[in-house]
Amino acid sequence: MMNFKQFWTKKTLVGLGLGQFLSLLITSTGFSSSELAKKGINAPTSQSFLNYVLLTIVYGSVMLYRRQALKAKWYYYVVLGLVDVEANYLVVKAYQYTSITSVMLLDCWSIPSVMLLTFLFLKTKYRFRKIAGVIVCVAGLVMVVFSDVHAGDRSGGSNPRKGDLLVIAGATLYAISNVSEEFLVKNADRVELMSFLGLFGAIISAIQISIIERNELKSIHWTAGAAFPFVGFSLAMFLFYSFVPVLLKMSGSTMLNLSLLTSDMWAVVIRIFAYHEKVDWMYFLAFVAVAIGLIIYSGGDKEEDQRRADVANEDAERTKCADEETGLDRLNRGAIAGSSKTGETSKHDCATTTGGKEIMENKSVGKDMQDKKS
């Protein structure tokens, strides 16, 4: 039975705190995109492009300074960059066709997708406590959806079916991107991951901008009011992408996606204190539910780490015993072979000695006969 102290390990607290910091960064990007939308600017790929450029400059410089060989194949990063760019594009694009409530609900599809992908490809095993934490988090987000419906804030959108499909596709790509990043950050290098994700993300974004958003960028009247949200969005995304690998290596991609569920609730807090808006009471209940779900999911890492260490020690002990048994078996075989060889040598020596004695005896007998004749 797990006691209360096992929940509050250093790893759990750092994971929860870092997850909420990332959630706040996502919230700030949402407000930046909202400000751009109010100004009539609809260029999601262009917003992400600046983030990829920053990643390339900062982490690429570190890569050049290190001059280390790549730990992963370069074409892995090409695929990851393509998936990441299109995931960002599809989810932002979906807001044009469906309601924000539908986007919030369907975006949860990334959580079971991540769990399935990590189970299949990373061999991650989820215990009952982890699954219970996920259920509580998703239940909290469903409360937010019902709160929107109750408050009458839901709007149908121009083409809800198309928008919903875009969200599901984007959430699936997010899951693939997060699981791929988790694999690479655990098996390659964080700096390498960020620099190449930035490089190929920037190249793919530039190509997509030239095809899709070229006319949109030409029509933008670049003022301080338009440039500031762009810069704010890029800085927030740069920090988000920089700290995501840390949380992925520490707690995994499922914990990341669960932490990001609170971004909508942080947006509610900002609406209350910054814009003095009133929200439904269910938001607060949902926030508490998601927080409890995160604690349930991330808690008890100390127990699992100890269990994994015990399993590793048991495997090491078994390997050691097997090696000792193999060594003893070889030693016994060698002893038997040596004994046989020693026995043969002894027999040969005995035979030689016996033969020598017979020759000596024969010589003595012959000598005696000659003496007697004389």
At 238, is the pLDDT very low, low, confident or very high (cuts 50, 70, 90)?
A: very high
Position with higher pLDDT, 293 vs 173: 173
pLDDT digits (tens, 9 = 90+) for 67-115: 888 899 999 999 999 999 999 888 877 777 776 656 666 677 887 888 8
Asked if the structure places residue 330 within a domain, the reply is no
Q: Which two tokens stand for residue 258?
A: 């669960």
Find, among 90, 101, 230, the residue nearest to 172 by Cα: 90
Does the pLDDT at position 218 exceed 50? yes
Return the sign of the alpha-carbon dihedral for residues 40, 42, 48, 54. negative
Q: Residue 130 domain-assigned? A: yes
For residue 329, tell me if it sits in a domain.
no
Cα angle for residues 117, 121, 124 (degrees, 5° grid): 80
The tokens describing 111, both together, are: 């959580």
Local structure of residue 209 (DSSP, 8 states): I
Please report whether residue 295 resides in a domain.
Answer: yes
Domain that holds residue 277: 15-212+223-309
- DSSP string over 240-290: HHHHHHHHHHHH-HHHHHHHGGGHHHHHHHHHHHTS-----THHHHHHHHH
> Would 364 be classed as within a structural domain?
no
Q: What average pLDDT does this structure show over 35-39?
A: 76
Residue 341 lies in a domain: no
Q: How far apart are CA 263 and CA 271, in angstroms?
A: 12
Residue carrying the six token digits 């991330």: 298
- Tell me if 355 is assigned to some domain: no
What letter does residue 222 receive in the DSSP assignment? -
Please provide the average confidence, as pLDDT, over all residues in the chain. 75
Q: Pick from 103, 193, 192: which is nearest to 155 by CA?
A: 103
Q: What percent of the chain has pLDDT over 90?
A: 20
Domain count, the chain: 1
- Long-range contacts for 100-103 (Cβ within 8 Å, ≥24 apart)? 100/148, 100/153, 100/154, 100/155, 101/145, 101/148, 101/149, 101/153, 101/154, 102/157, 102/160, 102/163, 102/164, 102/167, 103/163, 103/167
0.85 exceeded by the pTM?
A: no
Examine residue 64 and state whether it is found in any structural domain, yes or no. yes
Closest CA to 186 of 122, 127, 238: 122
Query: Residues 311-367: pLDDT tens digits?
Result: 445 555 565 555 555 555 555 555 555 544 444 444 444 444 445 444 444 445 444
Q: What is the pLDDT of residues 145-188, one digit of tens each?
A: 666 555 554 445 567 778 778 888 998 999 999 899 989 988 88
CB count within 10 Å of CB 282 equals 19
